[in-house]
Each structure stands twice: as structure tokens, then as C-alpha cells.
Amino acid sequence: MSDAILPPLTARARLLLAGEVLSTYAQVRWRLSRGNVEDTVRALRGAASGGVWVDPSIESYWQAVRLAKATTRTLGIVPADTRCLMQSLVLLGLLSRRGIGSVLVVAVNSGAGFAAHAWVEHDERPLLPTGDFGRLVEI
């Protein structure tokens, strides 16, 4: 299944969405420089939806998938830190702004060498790659 359930975005709408991704990225970087991840998540969620969240549905899931794709594509060309945590926080901000609930998952892999990873889930479905990591915390 693809995001064909949603109408395709116009060129203008794609440009506006890319601008929103970049704007949210700048906001996330600024907030992280002045606080921690939990404070940043709280700020992204608190100010964005006004406390109104849509019920999980197939449409909200595909909207979330579309936003995840836009986030990874747009941040893929940014010559700065756009690793998994930054992508996840930007996506969380975009989702929150639309009232789409999500969970930030921070995970670790302590195999041959310690590694950490982050992704976002909507309705218990990952929107970004999860890799082979064990859940550490959900925010």
C-alpha cells in the first residue's frame, strides 16, 4: 500500500512542505541548544496542536508516512546534522502541528559496539527506519 490514499501534492504544496521541514529543523536545533530532548519534545507537542489530536486512522497514518518521506528527503540535502534524532524531532513537530499523535523511540544496540538510534511511531507503526535496536525509552 502506498500513500495513494491521499491526493498527490501540487508543486507549490511540496515546496511549502519542504519550507516547513526546514523551518521546523531550525526550531529543533535552537531548542536543543537551550534544553534537552524531553524539553524539546514537550515544546514541539505543546505549542503545535493546541491539545487537539486526531483519532488514529488509515488516513492519518498515510499523512504521517507522507510527512516522514518529506522530512527525510528535505533533510537529506541539508549540509548539517540531520541524523536520526534530528529527523525524528522534525517529524514529531510536523505531526504535532497537524494533531497527529506520535511517539519518539530512543533505542540502543550494545552488540559489537554501542550505538543509539531514534525513530518516530504513529499508532505503534514506525514512520522512520528502526534498524536492529532494542527500545530504551519512549517519549
Number of domains in the chain: 1
In this structure, is residue 107 part of a structural domain?
A: no
* Percentage of the chain exceeding pLDDT 70: 93
CB 22 within 8 A of CB 74: yes
What are the cell numbers at 16?
511549502
DSSP class per residue in 35-96: S-HHHHHHHHHHHHHTT--PPP-HHHHHHHHHHHHHHHHHHTT-SS--SHHHHHHHHHHHHH
Q: What is the pLDDT of residues 123-138, one digit of tens each?
A: 999 999 998 898 999 9
In this structure, is residue 129 part of a structural domain?
A: no
Q: What is the pLDDT of residues 55-99, one digit of tens each?
A: 888 899 999 999 999 999 999 999 998 999 999 999 999 999 999
In this structure, is residue 83 part of a structural domain?
A: yes
Whether pLDDT at 53 is above 90? no
Whole-angstrom Cα distance, residue 51 to residue 48?
A: 8
| CB neighbourhood size of 70 (10 A) | 19
User: What's the confidence (pLDDT) of residue 114?
Assistant: 85
In this structure, is residue 110 part of a structural domain?
A: no
- Provide the whole-model pTM: 0.91
Strand partners, 122: 125
In this structure, is residue 54 part of a structural domain?
A: yes
In this structure, is residue 127 part of a structural domain?
A: no
In this structure, is residue 136 part of a structural domain?
A: no
In this structure, is residue 106 part of a structural domain?
A: no
Q: Residue range 1-12: average pLDDT?
A: 78
The overall average pLDDT reported for the chain is 91
Domain residues for the domain of 28 are 3-101
